[in-house]
Amino acid sequence: MSDLSSLALSSTHTLPIRHEGDVYSGKVRSVFWLKPSDSARLITSQSYDIHKDSQLGIMIISDRISAFDCIWRGEEGLMGVPGKGAALNAISYHWFQQFSQAGLGENHVLDVPHPLAWIVQRAEPIKIEAIARRHITGSMWRDYATGKREICGISIPEGLKEHQRLPELYITPSTKGILRGIPDVPEEEDVNIARKQIIDNYQAFGFLEISDILTYEQMLRKGFDLIEKGFASIDEVFVDTKFEFGYVRGNDGKRKIIYQDEVGTPDSSRSWDEKKYAEGKIVENSKEGFRQFLLGTLERDILLNKKRMEERKQLALNYRVPVDTMINVSNTYTNIAKRITGKTVQSKQNAEQEILDSLSSYGVLE
């Protein structure tokens, strides 16, 4: 049996980057938060236009693939999806730049030393997965199909069909992480919440001012509209997406909301082939195709039932995704990245060393 482990970067949290505190390691990204002295030095030497006391981090994106809150691995040592990380970074950075040029808001990315590495500024996160939906599909459709007509405090009209365009852009937020002590909000991850709950408990969700709720909603809607137009130009239907926001301090010392994490990627969004959609067919150009593969291959209730999370984690630990499925996912990511950015995503055979080489001039390696 062949060993395909070199085709995808899976481990990112052990790189020899000088940092302060624990390395944050999420589902697909790791962040090395720099010491104050290194942050201050880089802000000056690289002329970053941010507050002088900002903390910087080195964010490394892997090729890991997450679905149903678990990391999935492939056969033959293929521990991720080749090209996925670079595709995600390229797409997000493209949209972040578009947002800045359109005056919608700033973002956390300060520098791109390598296709898999960003230098970012630390933000105080707003504890909301800000989800916007233009079409009824995925979890929203599954709820609707069971007869549910109110989602996140929004009344959904009768008579909708799966994948149909919604009457308006719906914002259906959920919790980011486990939040405690908020009335009627279960202490679980990814719990749907209503706008009224956010208003009534705005500080618990990380907002500094109640008026900032409107700011985040405007940034979400305008960001969605911009990406939707971009997708339309490449004959794609922009279906739904997730945004994340946080606060940073500007040069004037005042707090402001910025975009962070990622935007408009196959991990955080759905898009469909526009011509096929007009014919009544759904051709997915996002991670949803991978989710559907898992739902059609493994026990559905384990993947969808939060009460069976321990079983799900064990399933993800033991199951190995066929190589051809992982390569198909790779093609989805790299193809859509090229169409959005106009640039080919290059495969990385020795990504870890390349990343370290790209960071050597920043003086942050141990």
Q: Do both 108 and 193 map to the same domain?
A: no
Q: Do both 342 and 282 map to the same domain?
A: no
Q: In what order do the strands lie in the sheet with 56-61?
A: 24-25, 29-33, 56-61, 117-121, 109-114
**153 part of a folded domain:** yes
Q: Do both 188 and 246 map to the same domain?
A: yes
Compute the distance between CA of residue 280 and CA of residue 26 in angstroms, rounded to an integer. 37
Q: Do both 29 and 153 map to the same domain?
A: no
Compute the distance between CA of residue 165 and CA of residue 137 in angstroms, rounded to an integer. 9
DSSP class per residue in 144-169: HHTT--EETTEEPPTT--TTPEEEEE
Q: Do both 112 and 56 map to the same domain?
A: yes
Q: Do both 227 and 348 map to the same domain?
A: no
SS3 248: strand
Q: Do both 91 and 234 map to the same domain?
A: no
**301 part of a folded domain:** no
**320 part of a folded domain:** no
Q: Do both 152 and 187 map to the same domain?
A: yes
**DSSP label at 272?**
E
Q: Are the C-beta atoms of residues 191 and 205 closer than 8 Å to each other?
A: no
Q: What is the CATH number of the domain that holds 49?
A: 3.30.200.20
Q: Do both 132 and 186 map to the same domain?
A: yes
Of 269, 290, 311, which residue sits at a domain end? 290
User: Range of 61's domain?
Assistant: 5-123+325-362
The pTM of the full predicted model, rounded to 2 decimals, is 0.94
pLDDT at 2: 67
**DSSP label at 320?**
E
Over the chain, what is the mean pLDDT? Answer: 95
Q: Do both 282 and 148 map to the same domain?
A: yes
Q: Are the C-beta atoms of residues 8 and 82 closer than 8 Å to each other?
A: yes
**302 part of a folded domain:** no
> pLDDT under 70 in the chain at which residues?
1-2
Q: Do both 269 and 135 map to the same domain?
A: yes
Q: What is the CATH number of the domain that holds 272?
A: 3.30.470.20
pLDDT at 237: 97
Q: Are the C-beta atoms of residues 51 and 276 closer than 8 Å to each other?
A: no
Q: How many domains does the chain have?
A: 2
The DSSP element (H or E) to which 8 belongs, if any, is none
At 128, list the tokens. 């909301």
**297 part of a folded domain:** no
Of 243, 275, 290, which residue sits at a domain end? 290
**255 part of a folded domain:** yes
At 232, list the tokens. 């339309």
Q: Do both 13 and 93 map to the same domain?
A: yes
**57 part of a folded domain:** yes
Lookup result for tokens 């790791």: 30
Cα 183 to Cα 41, 153, 171, 193: the distances in Å are 44, 15, 21, 11
Of 236, 267, 290, which residue sits at a domain end? 290
